[in-house]
Structure 1
Amino acid sequence: MKPSLHNSPSSEPPPLLRQRDYRLLWTARTISITGSEVSKLAIPLTAVTLLTASPTQMGLLTAAASMPALLLGLQSGAIADRLTRHRPLMIACELVSCAAAATVPLAWLFGLLNVTWLIAVALVIGAAGVLFKAANFPHLASVVPPAQHTEAMAGFHASYSVASVGGPGLAGLLVQVLTAPLAVLAEALSFLTSALLLRCIGTSERNEPASSRGMWRDVTAGLRAVLTHPVLRALLAAGVTINFFAMAYTAVYMLYMVNTLAIPKGLIGALVALSGVGGLLGAWITARLSKRYGENRILLVAVVFFPIEILAVGLLTGPLWWKLSLLTVTGTITGGIVVAFATCMGAIMLRETSPELRGRVNATTTFAVQGVLALGGLAGGVAADFLGLRPVILLCAAGMALSTIWIWTSPLRPHHRHPPTPTPPGPDLSLSTFMAQKRHL
């Protein structure tokens, strides 16, 4: 095993792209995420076209993908904090996911496949994904020096942007050529490839596992750490606010685009993909600006821009060319803003929490900001039935603006700003990534 980069005698670490272990970790995540994007289309298509699934069965299949996050989200952080080495758990999760995905085409070939089987596969892959994410963030601190945490975060958010742009197109091609069940093999192979790449990482892990006082006490320790720390509390509140109103907007987005703005259906997918392109640009710019201005300042500016696209969409009128032009510009900018915010949020959390609490604070924050998505979607749909589409979108813009209050009244303001210098081995933490798409921040 080669020594950790944290202990390198060199005062200036080499650029991330020249660090073999970071390249392996980044490539593993990019391949795994892209494979997951393929399965988001292939598995539902398998249920609909081959198994003639009912609406109730499709609802159960959709819920199965997110259910593990609700059932295991908080506990996964406690589990991660008890580990001396995180990478073995990450590899095991990828291998379990590979085996589960591979059963879909095998069961189809032998005539055993049914909707219950698909639901079980979704639950297994979802559970493995929750555990993987809980271990992945603390593991990042072992591979990347503190001075490069923000740049590394930006790279991972770029992975999500790449997957959001290329994944759906690749999925459609594979389904067309191989049929839906065999296309799921792409997901299995992506998990296997990720596991092999993770196995090749040479950086040693030297984590001091937190002493456990039982699962419930471990979980409550993570909750207490988030709620009592002024910076972490502000980040959590802003993330929950943004995600709630982002999902409320998503619930009515398609109806509004088609019925109110009369956007051709064939162009809506291209408009959504622009957020992924913007995310790539945002990752590139954030990695560079953070070195000059620091993560706090970028976060303070980024949060102000969150309502811009939703407000523009809510007020949009005029000819089709004008609508498309404005949606193209605002969609691309928002994709970049999402990645800039999420990147700096993760880096600040990594800086602010002690190493023995990283997994739990990460899991607590992820549980909250992802768990609120369902509530936001439900609220947006119900409100649109009573108020109409355009008023709900304007309300979402106003609600999104509330996140600015949480950030600007916190110690993240310039007079409390942390310098953009490497953090010493002390308080550190992280947040799992927001999805780099405007529909699911």
Structure 2
Amino acid sequence: MLRTIPLRRQRDYRLLWGARVVTEAGSEVSRLAVPLTAVTLLSASPLQMGFLTAAASLPFLLVGLPVGALADRLARRRPVMIGCEVVAGSAVLTVPVAWLAGWLSVSWLIAVALVVGTCTVVFRNFNTPHLTSVVPEHQRTAALAGFQSVFAVAQLGGPGLAGLLVGVLTAPLALIVDAFSFLVSALCLRSIRAPETPAEQPRKQSHRQPREQSHEQSHRQSLRHEIGAGIRTLVGHPVLRALTLAGMTVNLFGAAQLAIYVLFAVTVLGLPGWLVGISVVGFGLGGLLGAVVAPRLAERFGGDRVLLGSVLFFPAGFVVMAAASGPVWLVSALIAASEIVVGVAVVCFSVCSGAATLREAPADFIGRVNASINFGTQGVMAFGGLLGGVLGEVLGLRPAMWVCAAGAVLTIPCLWWSPLTRGARAPHAEAANSPSTAPPPRSSPEDEQK
């Protein structure tokens, strides 16, 4: 038996992990500084805040699917990821420059959000298949949990750093930190030495592979056909379809809430600027705990049970946010506590869902399936941002928050009415040895690595 080297001792994984640390820490500064810039310096309306939120997710709808197909085609994905970081950092840097020159507007912020969002789409779709070149299959669940810990740590410390920078430098100038973080991430990625697995290399054919996809990786095939194959693989697989639907539901109403959160926190709850990020701090702490316990819970109870249990807690943060009132200290404590619970649940869901996707998706389709999932779960946030802005304008901020809370409850039946319930009822040892809780779709091959 080959000796397994722990991830923390693998140089390339540490660099990949470190790249995400600095980028996510910088992005947390932007998540607070950009909306604060729009609200406090540019007097943005709820509808404008909705457009600003939607702009970050719109690229998932515009370019997400073709980018996923290209990620499966290209043999070298790392240079593309490095380029994304450089372009995104340059775009963010234009905000403080424009502010100092007197050119900054809400439209400028929306344009920057579109550029950074496009880079995010490309990076994420290339990062998932790239991970298979850096981390062996049996360590990928732990690797995904490690990435979730990055997001959690950034969310835990990012708002405090952002609040300090905004207070000292003002919101636009604080974005310089985010721009610098993209450059550091690019340098970390550039230092990875692991050879990338060519996307076009011949693979052993399986008797379960459908005829129309037997030469799926040939360059002669049209991009449209490859995109369609990825969508059919996702839609035809009951488990992947249920996970995607759950992600779309929570992200739709999460983006709607996010679009009006800063306005709600400042004007309705009366939170000072440095406390506006308290929800992110709570979520980050919960996410850090979730990253620690998720692999252990999955190992002990099985991924299906963890997924079903995690969605039960998703609505908690929405409900507390909508109902919050009273003195600042009480509101802050309630929001932080509820977000800790939600953070644990969301990260457990994300880790187990990501592992299930790598397991269930055919090996040659990982990029396209991942792009299709991102197209749905991230692209829907563009509509969510617009929904939140419209609800805030028409109903008012607190009623809009209650609508978001009611919508978050719909996440529960997305999974509980799926084949995952059968896998959860099965003995854990038997389920662990089974490749799937549902039969593979007729339109796509079953992954031989399950």
TM over 0.5: yes
2:156–2:284 Cα contact (<8 Å) kept:
yes
1:23 is aligned to 2:23: no
* Counterpart in the other structure of 2:208: none
1:152 is aligned to 2:143: yes
CA distance in 2, matches of 1:392, 1:114: 29
Q: For residues 185 and 315 of structure 1, do their structure 2 counterparts lie closer, same or farther at Cα, with a shift above 3 Å needed? A: closer
Aligned length: 417
1:427 is aligned to 2:418: no
Q: For residues 164 and 336 of structure 1, do their structure 2 counterparts lie closer, same or farther at Cα, with a shift above 3 Å needed? A: same
1:337 is aligned to 2:345: yes
1:185-204 alignment, distance < 5 Å: 185-204=176-195
Residue identity opposite 1:161 in structure 2: A
What is the CA distance between 1:284 and its match in structure 2? 0.9
* Counterpart in the other structure of 2:285: 277
Could you give the per-residue CA deviations for residues 112-140 of structure 1, whole angstroms, max 9, x where no partner exists? 96557766554433322221111001111
Residue identity opposite 2:365 in structure 1: L
1:135-214 alignment, distance < 5 Å: 135-178=126-169, 183-209=174-200, 210-212=217-219, 213-214=221-222
What is the CA distance between 1:327 and its match in structure 2? 3.9
CA distance in 1, matches of 2:35, 2:244: 32
What is the CA distance between 1:324 and its match in structure 2? 5.7
Q: For residues 48 and 237 of structure 1, do their structure 2 counterparts lie closer, same or farther at Cα, with a shift above 3 Å needed? A: closer
Alignment TM-score, normalising by the size of structure 1: 0.79
Q: For residues 207 and 247 of structure 1, do their structure 2 counterparts lie closer, same or farther at Cα, with a shift above 3 Å needed? A: same
2:50–2:385 Cα contact (<8 Å) kept:
no
- Matching residue within 352, 372, 375 for 2:360: 352
2:290–2:348 Cα contact (<8 Å) kept:
yes
What is the CA distance between 1:46 and its match in structure 2? 7.0
Higher alpha-carbon deviation: 39-48 or 170-179: 39-48
Could you give the per-residue CA deviations for residues 366-397 of structure 1, whole angstroms, max 9, x where no partner exists? 12112222433444565677777777655544
Residue identity opposite 1:297 in structure 2: R
CA distance in 1, matches of 2:50, 2:410: 32
CA distance in 2, matches of 1:193, 1:125: 16
- Matching residue within 229, 233, 250 for 1:242: 250
1:63-82 alignment, distance < 5 Å: 64-82=55-73
Structure 2 counterpart SS, 1:14:
coil
* Counterpart in the other structure of 2:415: 407
Backbone CA RMSD of aligned residues = 4.0
CA distance in 2, matches of 1:428, 1:112: 58
Residue identity opposite 2:164 in structure 1: L
Residue identity opposite 2:150 in structure 1: S
What is the CA distance between 1:92 and its match in structure 2? 2.2
Residue identity opposite 1:287 in structure 2: P
1:302–1:340 Cα contact (<8 Å) kept:
yes
Residue identity opposite 1:330 in structure 2: S
In structure 1, stretches of 5+ residues that fail to align are: 1-8, 430-441
What is the CA distance between 1:242 and its match in structure 2? 1.8
What is the CA distance between 1:149 and its match in structure 2? 1.8
In structure 2, stretches of 5+ residues that fail to align are: 201-216, 437-444
* Counterpart in the other structure of 1:437: none
1:53-132 alignment, distance < 5 Å: 64-102=55-93, 115=105, 121-132=112-123
* Counterpart in the other structure of 1:35: 26
* Counterpart in the other structure of 2:214: none
Q: For residues 184 and 295 of structure 1, do their structure 2 counterparts lie closer, same or farther at Cα, with a shift above 3 Å needed? A: same
Could you give the per-residue CA deviations for residues 179-203 of structure 1, whole angstroms, max 9, x where no partner exists? 6565443233212211111122222
What is the CA distance between 1:234 and its match in structure 2? 0.8
What is the CA distance between 1:14 and its match in structure 2? 2.5
Q: For residues 247 and 121 of structure 1, do their structure 2 counterparts lie closer, same or farther at Cα, with a shift above 3 Å needed? A: closer
* Counterpart in the other structure of 1:365: 373
Structure 2 counterpart SS, 1:85:
coil
Residue identity opposite 1:331 in structure 2: E
Could you give the per-residue CA deviations for residues 219-249 of structure 1, whole angstroms, max 9, x where no partner exists? 2222111111111111111111222233444
1:104–1:184 Cα contact (<8 Å) kept:
yes
Alignment TM-score, normalising by the size of structure 2: 0.77
CA distance in 1, matches of 2:397, 2:280: 19
2:278–2:335 Cα contact (<8 Å) kept:
no
CA distance in 1, matches of 2:110, 2:49: 9
CA distance in 1, matches of 2:407, 2:330: 26
- Matching residue within 5, 14, 26 for 2:5: 14
* Counterpart in the other structure of 1:292: 300
1:286-325 alignment, distance < 5 Å: 286-311=294-319
2:159–2:278 Cα contact (<8 Å) kept:
no
Q: For residues 98 and 323 of structure 1, do their structure 2 counterparts lie closer, same or farther at Cα, with a shift above 3 Å needed? A: closer
